[in-house]
Structure 1
Amino acid sequence: MQSSADIPSPKMRALVGDHARAISEQADRHAVELESLLAVLRSSRLDDRAARATAIDIAAASLVSLRTASDNEQSTMLEPVATAFARLKNDLRPLVRFGDLDVQFIEPPSTGRALPGEVAQAARAIVRNSVLALADAADTRRVRIQWDCDGQNLLIGIRDDGPGELSRHDDVLRPIAEKVSALEGELQVTSTPGWGSALSITLPLDPPPEPDTLEDTVQLSARERDVLRLVASGARNRAIAQQLQISDNTVKFHVSNLLRKAGASTRAELAALAKQRIG
């Protein structure tokens, strides 16, 4: 049986999640930068000397960004929606300038609500992934990117002029769907053969409210709360008595009261109720 000491705390789980998001954000950005370098080196618009100089500029800017950016800090900050969109355009600028894909940007209202850092990062990653995926389609020549904010959600629209065969279940959209799902957002894909595909993404700006725990919904004394937590951890009466320095009979009395208050018929059911959220 796993002890309570082996279970990661909510704070630790949050730190692990933040770290994973930061790594994902960096990987997405590097993918765009590498694709931009390839676009420059392959470009027929530049001679060898100009291509090398441009590639060096992109690589140097990438190194500066890598050394100075702090994703952990950004994830706790607010970004004005226009600033977040400008950063997206800057991320895609080399690819737009030297690639074969025509990317059009529809600016969000400058007065829109500021975005939580986590949402801004995820939104940029979603668009970058989409553009890279669409750039691989031979028949796609144009992509339009639009952001808007309704005060509660960031609304992202991405439309291409490709073959119109994209569906929500395509593997190419899996990273996007995962990012949207992680933020409790919604993803819709509409395709018309011969006319292109459109992605409509809604990202809530506020986290969903935490449902109440059993401790929040049932009036318990301080001692009953202590007993309940230990019951939920799998501890037996004697272990609970020893840890709380009370008698076995007192523990039985508290457990009996907890069963009654929670409407549980067994100790296992009480433990399950204590662990789950009540919506």
Structure 2
Amino acid sequence: MATDALTHASRSAASEHARTVAEQADRHALTLESILAALRSTRLSDAAARAEAVEIASAALIELRTATDRQRSTLLEPVTGAFSRLRADLRPLVRFGDLDVQFVEPPATGRALPGDVAHSARAIVRTAVLALVDDGVARRVRIQWDCDGRNLLMQLRDDGAGTLDAHDDAVRPIAERVVALEGTLAVHSTAGWGSTLDISLPLDPSPRAIEAPTDSDLTERERDVLRLVVTGIGNREIADGLGISANTVKYHVANLLRKLGARTRAELAAAGARG
């Protein structure tokens, strides 16, 4: 029971490091698309377009500097709050782009989302919308979220060519994110009418059994770090005990997660305890 509780509480923190690069890449792409949409808009004068582009870039820089702290401090996020942040992310494209983005608000009641699920859900939608912008065929997309208590349910429906397939390059990064969270993705297309993406993300992915490490799998320092991770102490205490920096501990923990196929620190500790 204690291990299950630790797994649930640490899922967001443990998976945040693995998704940081992809999350930032999505945000950079969204910022650039938004700036281009403002600069290309025929509804704005040159001066107004430049001012809007500067505002978007400035806001993105502030968001980039505060994103890590905010994400780490947000373990649970109401589904309505997560959806509102998604609308804010896409607002520049809605205001200045050619794609008509329609939002269907989720119910105000319901279970809050774990932080990593909320972040990944927004990234999935942003990736899909940017793919539609790049494709240039669809003129309208409807985004709908709901929560059944166990899963976050998302649907994106466009009015494009209706040729989208689950194996398309545009869908692959979305599918990879969904699989990483043990979710499901279904793509339904009708030629000439558009495509629909139905995505379900579990709020409590099931714990996995991780293979115990062998001596040949790990370096001596990684074995030292793993031995201390098993005790349940934090990175700072591990660093003090081994006489290394906390950043070096984070580096070794990330390598351990990758080598052992663990998603969370709790799974890593369980594997180390069996070793």
TM-score for both structures, normalised by structure 1: 0.69
Letter in structure 1 aligned against 2:42:
S
Bigger CA radius of gyration:
1
Is 2:185 the partner of 1:192?
no
* Aligned counterpart, 2:78: 80
* Aligned counterpart, 1:158: 156
Residue 82 of structure 1 contacts residue 108 of structure 1 at CA under 8 Å; is this kept in 2? yes
* Aligned counterpart, 1:41: 39
DSSP 3-state at the match of 1:70 = helix
Letter in structure 2 aligned against 1:74:
R
> How many angstroms apart in 2 are the aligned matches of 1:163 and 1:183?
29
Moved beyond 6 Å, runs of 4+: none
* Shift in alpha-carbon separation, 1:75–1:132, aligned structure 2, 3 A: farther
Provide the aligned length of Structure 1 versus Structure 2. Answer: 208
* Aligned counterpart, 1:6: none
Letter in structure 1 aligned against 2:188:
T
For structure 2, the 5+ residue unaligned runs are 1-11, 217-270
Residue 19 of structure 1 contacts residue 72 of structure 1 at CA under 8 Å; is this kept in 2? no
| Deviation digits for residues 59-117 of structure 1 (CA, Å, limit 9, x no counterpart) | 11111111222267437610000000000000000011000000000000111210001
Higher normalized contact order (CA 8 Å, seq sep 6+, divided by chain length) = 2
> How many angstroms apart in 1 are the aligned matches of 2:71 and 2:171?
28
Shift in Å at residue 177 of structure 1?
A: 0.4
**How is 1:175-254 mapped onto 2 (pairs within 5 angstroms)?**
175-211=173-209, 233=215
Shift in Å at residue 23 of structure 1?
A: 1.6
Residue 104 of structure 2 contacts residue 143 of structure 2 at CA under 8 Å; is this kept in 1? yes
For structure 1, the 5+ residue unaligned runs are 1-13, 214-228, 235-274
Is 2:155 the partner of 1:137?
no
* Aligned counterpart, 1:146: 144
Residue 18 of structure 1 contacts residue 72 of structure 1 at CA under 8 Å; is this kept in 2? no
DSSP 3-state at the match of 1:65 = helix
> How many angstroms apart in 2 are the aligned matches of 1:168 and 1:54?
36
DSSP 3-state at the match of 1:140 = coil
| Deviation digits for residues 12-55 of structure 1 (CA, Å, limit 9, x no counterpart) | xx978532301211111111111000000000010101101111
CA RMSD in angstroms comes to 2.5
* Aligned counterpart, 2:121: 123
Letter in structure 1 aligned against 2:136:
A
